[in-house]
Amino acid sequence: MKDAVTNLIKNYDVAGRYFDRNAIDRLKAYFESGTARLAVATMVTANAAAIVRQAGSKLFEEVPELIRPGGNAYTTRRYSACLRDMDYYLRYASYAMVAGDNDVLDERVLQGLRETYNSLGVPIGPTVLGIQIMKDMIKEMALEAGIESANFLDEPFDHMTRELSEIDI
């Protein structure tokens, strides 16, 4: 798994360049947000089950046909699989948030996911909505905890929704 620092170093190393003002500013911003990143990751870790459960409830309120007969979350097995996947997205989003880099999402979550979901008939739209609901919940938790500048937590969630949304919404 890469992080913001190793990616920056790699890019400058490949180009054979010393860090310029832009690189220094990016490193400074990453390190300055480090405490907030860890605070949010700690909140996610401590509340993951509740976040997933509440986000799932909200998703099923907004898209009730998912849990009706014939819906993709109908039956206990499918409902559980949906919540399992939401937990998976949340966990990897927390890794990417701490790392300040979305490579882990591409490597471990997104590669082949659209194709898998399409082949299984899993609708992408509700998946994207569930990810956005979790992001909104975590942003609210961060604000309540006094973390005012939490824009860094948008990045992994928005990256997943953007990548999933490119095909077959």
Summarize pLDDT for 122-137 with one digit per residue, the tens: 899 999 999 999 999 9
How many angstroms separate the CA atoms of 169 and 164, rounded?
8
Residues 137 and 106 in one domain: yes
Range(s) of the domain holding residue 60: 34-165
Residues 119 and 53 in one domain: yes
Summarize pLDDT for 27-83 with one digit per residue, the tens: 999 999 999 999 999 999 999 999 999 999 999 999 999 999 999 999 999 999 999
Percent of the chain with pLDDT over 70: 98
DSSP state of 138: H
The rounded mean pLDDT for the chain is 93
CB environment 79-110: b (16+ within 10 A), e (fewer):
beebbebbbebbebbbbbbbbbbbbbbeeebb
Residues 19 and 93 in one domain: no
Residues 115 and 40 in one domain: yes
Residues 53 and 77 in one domain: yes
- The CA-CA-CA angle for residues 134, 81, 65, to 5°, reads 75
pTM of the model: 0.90
Residue-level pLDDT at 169: 40
Give me 31's structure tokens. Answer: 């390190």
Residues 56 and 12 in one domain: no
CATH of the domain at 106: 1.10.490.20
The backbone torsions φ and ψ at residue 145, rounded to the nearest 5 degrees and listed phi first, read -85, 0
How many angstroms separate the CA atoms of 123 and 145, rounded?
34
Number of domain units in the chain:
2
